[in-house]
Amino acid sequence: MPLPQDFDTDEFVARILAEDLGSGGDVTSAATIPDGERLAAVMASRQEIVVAGLDIAVAVFRKLDPEVDIRVECSDGDRVAEERVLMRLAGNARAMLTAERSALNTVQHLSGIATLTRRYADAVAGTGATLLDTRKTIPGLRVLEKYAARMGGASNHRMRLDDGVLIKDNHVAACGGIVEAVRRARSANTGLHVQVEVDRIDQIEPALEAGADRLLLDNMMPATLREAVVLVNGRVPLEASGGVTLDTIRAIAESGVDFVSVGRITQSAPAVDIGLDYRVEPR
């Protein structure tokens, strides 16, 4: 699956390489690797993973060596076994060594998100609930991290604050109550659906009567979620959120909610182990 059309790969690659190169470039490779030396390399998984970010890695290597030969051997979204080859490369040794860390960091991080997301997606399979990500992303990396979540089997919630109206507890407090918060949101005529966060059953009817289009059920136990599902009876979509873990998500999804959102898949995913091994090409 390609990266989002509005993502500027060239800008991202230039920015991450500039961060790594500084003003003096890769002084170690320049000092130790003969000019014109060539290397072959294999990028491979060192654990079972779901892959994400290969197109970025390719762009990083090509930025420093436009003539590098690259053969990508799997696709983003693939679940691959330990020791699976992800790509093979052959090109300028200095360029490849200079690009290595930026390329690997990106693939390891994004594949880490995709891998953890797949575990959550597998946990809700068959329940009818859709797994959602959140805006709990590293600033500047949201587009890529949400892309990785999609590769792992999640759907994207709001990408930005202008993607939807979501009235949370702090908005409610500032407005003096759920009814007033929803009234203000609807009278603003944004053209967007109005979602309201509730953390008690007794908040549901007032939110619906005020005109909420969707409810976010925050930090509710499965029994309470089931009660909410019965009460709402299909009038609006229901999303469960808050403190969701791999141990709890199945019971939450089985309550009958339409969506389960999980901040951990982007906020807490560990990088996966991917290696890049070299050999000198014969002259």
Closest CA to 36 of 102, 119, 85, 92: 92
**pLDDT of 4:** 73
Say yes or no: 164 and 246 in one domain. yes
Give catalytic residue positions: 101, 136, 168, 197, 218
> pLDDT of 19-58, one tens digit each?
999 999 999 999 999 999 999 999 999 999 999 999 999 9
What are the beta bridge partners of residue 131? Answer: 260
In a domain, 61, yes or no: yes
Give the span between the Cα atoms of 82 and 73, in whole angstroms: 14
Say yes or no: 46 and 76 in one domain. yes
Say yes or no: 110 and 164 in one domain. no
Say yes or no: 243 and 274 in one domain. no
**Low-confidence stretches of the chain (pLDDT beneath 70):** 1-2, 281-283
pTM, 2 dp: 0.95
| Domain with 48 in it | 9-121+270-280
In a domain, 242, yes or no: yes
Closest CA to 213 of 176, 239, 231: 239
**pLDDT of 129:** 98
**pLDDT of 44:** 97
Say yes or no: 114 and 202 in one domain. no
Q: Which helix (H) or strand (E) holds 20?
A: helix 9-21
Number of domains into which the chain is organized:
2
Say yes or no: 115 and 17 in one domain. yes
Say yes or no: 170 and 237 in one domain. yes
In a domain, 71, yes or no: yes
Say yes or no: 77 and 50 in one domain. yes
**pLDDT of 113:** 98
Say yes or no: 87 and 19 in one domain. yes
**Domain with 16 in it: what CATH number?**
3.90.1170.20
**pLDDT of 280:** 72
**Domain with 206 in it: what CATH number?**
3.20.20.70
Say yes or no: 112 and 74 in one domain. yes
Say yes or no: 227 and 254 in one domain. yes
Task: Identify whether the C-beta of residue 266 lies closer than 8 Å to the C-beta of residue 133.
Answer: yes
Ramachandran bin of 36, using left for φ above 0, alpha for ψ from -120 to 50, beta for the remaining angles: left
Give the span between the Cα atoms of 38 and 249, in whole angstroms: 49
Give the start-end residues of each E strand in 138-261.
165-167, 194-198, 214-218, 238-241, 259-261
Q: Percentages helix, strand, coil for the chain, rounded to the nearest 5?
A: 45, 20, 35
How far is C-alpha 117 from the chain's CA centre? 8
**pLDDT of 283:** 58
Say yes or no: 58 and 103 in one domain. yes
Indicate the residue type of 20.
Answer: D
Residue 157, helix vs strand vs coil: coil
Indicate the residue type of 259.
Answer: F
Per the prediction, the chain carries an average pLDDT of 96
